[in-house]
Amino acid sequence: MVAEGTERTEVAESTEGTEGTEEALPKEAEALGRQALEWLLRSAKETGTGTGSGIGTGPGAGTHTGPGPGSRTGLVWTDTPSDNELDFDLYSGTAGIIPALLEGRRHFGDDRYGDAALRAARTIEAAVAEWEASSLYGGLAGMAVALHAVHTELGDKAAGAAADRALVRVRERFDGTRWGDLFELIGGNAGIALGALAVGDTELAVLAVTPYLRTAEPTAGGVHWEVRAGTPARFHHISHGTLGIVHALAAVGRAANRPDLVELAVDGASDVVARNEADAEGFLVPHSDPQHKPDIIERYSYGWCHGPAGDAQTFRLLGSVLQDPSWSALADRCWHTVTHSGLPERLRPGFWDNSGRCCGTAGVLALACDRSVEQRDGLDFARVLVADIASRATVDEHGARWSNIEHRVNPSVLEPRNGWAMGNAGILRELLRFARIGTGRDAAYAVDWPDQPAAVARSGEN
């Protein structure tokens, strides 16, 4: 059964034969990436010395001063420039901005971005002792990922030591089963496991995923889990659902040589595959069953968080771990559905109102560029996505940024955001990577993302 209205002619067809655009678009993406970085620097807030526990209380805290030349103060960002609450996490805050700054440093060879990343690390180091959440996207595990990246890219030992301290605190908070109500990738065990792997702590990663062995619920197609305590809905996708848990089980199982974890990953993925409502060419699974908050959440999505753009990332990983082409074929089917969905056009209010990495165009661009490396088939659609991102950008003397749309509120055009999920940090990483791929340069990120498998060209290709 194909969900009504989910298949369209592939958008990329409309751009074929536009050689001039193909040559110009990587340059435009690169320029936008640079301008997006500049806007982030202007949006930064200084935090006094950047050391100690008084986050946001030092001179200059809460002011949009940006990093001054040679300044030794720490840097921090809020979710949006008008916010007063300092944000340290990977999802919407400072930890998620650090990889974007490191991407800019490596791509442009501009040490200003590395200096800003280092100063942001100083602020996060101070926050480690106080931060209450443990998760990958909202807590210490994600902060550890950012600190470890600064240590690896810039050789900063203090950041590496702070990353280790953060994971010590995460381990201390474990109750034997979980860290809180959430039990998935964004806010729970699966994400903590992937963050621990990214930092090199395989022991913590195993500790985090082991409870899934005893909490799995058998289904007709495999297994799934209660991902939020007390919530009847069972979620299926990477951000909050079964495939996020599958992703962690497969990654940790490979790293720790634990076949039982990989076997459970297959059982979880099989449950999701059994729920496919597209035809034999595509792949489309509902948001959740029973549907969570049906009055405000659509049944089908297409992005990274709850759709085939994210499902494909887990299927890519399973194909690599198991060396089984059937999983790669499922990633191909996800790609078919994405490219025939109508995105990135705004087909109706609520459909494709977001340019960001979590729920929008940048998340699809990440997959398109992965496929351009691995399958040699994603670049045409990547150009469509980049052209759309460029068309939605606001660019002025302050830099570039993006406003998403929420059609259910007035005004519907939202304030631009800074972070990875919905803002500049997530978008610019993908723009700069596309610029390199489009001009025959290195497709690797400066910092690999914990839940996005590194793209590897097939044997004999480069």
Helix (H) or strand (E) segment spanning residue 75: strand 75-78
Tell me if 186 sits within 8 A of 138, measured CB to CB: yes
Kindly tell me the burial class for residue 395, based on how many C-beta atoms sit within 10 Å of its own C-beta (0-12, 13-18, 19 or more): middle
Question: Rounded to an integer, what distance in angstroms lies between the CA atom of residue 320 and that of residue 183?
Answer: 25
pLDDT bracket for residue 308 (50, 70, 90): very high
Query: Nearest-CA neighbor of 113 among 104, 121, 122?
Result: 104
pLDDT of amino acid 14? 40
Whether cis (ω within 30° of 0) applies to the bond prior to 411 is yes
Tell me if 120 sits within 8 A of 105, measured CB to CB: no
The mean per-residue pLDDT over the stretch 17-42 comes to 89
- Which range among 50-64, 193-207, 255-269 shows the weakest confidence by mean pLDDT? 50-64
pLDDT bracket for residue 48 (50, 70, 90): confident
pLDDT bracket for residue 20 (50, 70, 90): low
Name the average pLDDT for the chain.
92
Write the pLDDT tens digit of every residue in 229-265.
Answer: 999 999 999 999 999 999 999 999 999 999 999 999 9
Reported pTM: 0.92
User: In this structure, is residue 241 part of a structural domain?
Assistant: no
The mean per-residue pLDDT over the stretch 373-397 comes to 97
Length, in residues, of the chain? 462
The mean per-residue pLDDT over the stretch 336-359 comes to 97
User: In this structure, is residue 77 part of a structural domain?
Assistant: no
Write the pLDDT tens digit of every residue in 100-121.
Answer: 999 999 999 999 999 999 999 9
User: In this structure, is residue 392 part of a structural domain?
Assistant: yes
The mean per-residue pLDDT over the stretch 312-330 comes to 98
- Which range among 25-34, 43-52, 431-440 shows the weakest confidence by mean pLDDT? 43-52
pLDDT bracket for residue 398 (50, 70, 90): very high
Query: Nearest-CA neighbor of 272 among 314, 228, 214?
Result: 314
What is the percentage of the chain residues whose pLDDT exceeds 70?
A: 90
User: In this structure, is residue 351 part of a structural domain?
Assistant: yes
User: In this structure, is residue 83 part of a structural domain?
Assistant: no
Tell me if 289 sits within 8 A of 219, measured CB to CB: no
pLDDT of amino acid 23? 82
Tokens of 328: 């790669």
Instruction: Examine the pLDDT at 71 and tell me if it is beyond 70.
Output: no
pLDDT of amino acid 8? 40
pLDDT bracket for residue 460 (50, 70, 90): low
Structural domain of 353: 1-43+342-456
User: In this structure, is residue 361 part of a structural domain?
Assistant: yes
Instruction: Examine the pLDDT at 128 and tell me if it is beyond 80.
Output: yes
User: In this structure, is residue 447 part of a structural domain?
Assistant: yes
Tell me if 62 sits within 8 A of 84, measured CB to CB: yes
pLDDT of amino acid 17? 46
DSSP code for 222: S
Q: What is the count of structural domains for the chain?
A: 1
The mean per-residue pLDDT over the stretch 322-351 comes to 97
User: In this structure, is residue 64 part of a structural domain?
Assistant: no
Write the pLDDT tens digit of every residue in 407-436.
Answer: 999 999 999 999 999 999 999 999 999 999
The mean per-residue pLDDT over the stretch 323-341 comes to 98
